[in-house]
Amino acid sequence: MTFVVTDNCIKCKYTDCVEVCPVDAFHEGPNFLVINPDECIDCTLCEPECPVNAIYPEDDVPAGQESFLALNADLAKNWPVITERKDAPADAKDWENKPNKIGLLER
């Protein structure tokens, strides 16, 4: 079992989630974060920290976003670990809750 970062994090990237993770499972890309499923211990702490509800347990990923499970695993292999909160992008608010941002994901 792992937790998964989904579409709503793209271009929001508030990073509130990373500081609570006891195993440093978050990895950072240019405009998205992912969770390394090999590190996540399923502690649930990050889920309520995300202001845009982008984090789900793998069994509860919203319909249509199942591909984010493999995407988190893949991108975590090459992206660096992030453990400290940082400022969100200046336009993060404008992108909150916009659906289907996957096409805007930068790798």
Residues in touch with ligand SF4 (CB under 6 A): 3, 5, 9, 12-17, 20-21, 23, 25, 33, 35, 40-46, 49-50, 52, 54-55
Q: What minimum distance in Å lies between the beta carbon of 94 and ligand SF4?
A: 14
Minimal distance, residue 9 CB to ligand SF4, in Å: 3
Euclidean distance between CA atoms 75 and 10, whole angstroms: 13
CB-wise, 35 or 61, nearer to ligand SF4?
35
Q: Least CB distance from residue 63 to ligand SF4, whole Å?
A: 19
Residues 93/98/100/105 CA torsion (nearest 10 deg): -10
Nearby residues of 52 by Cβ (< 8 Å), 6 or more positions away: 8, 9, 12, 14, 96, 97
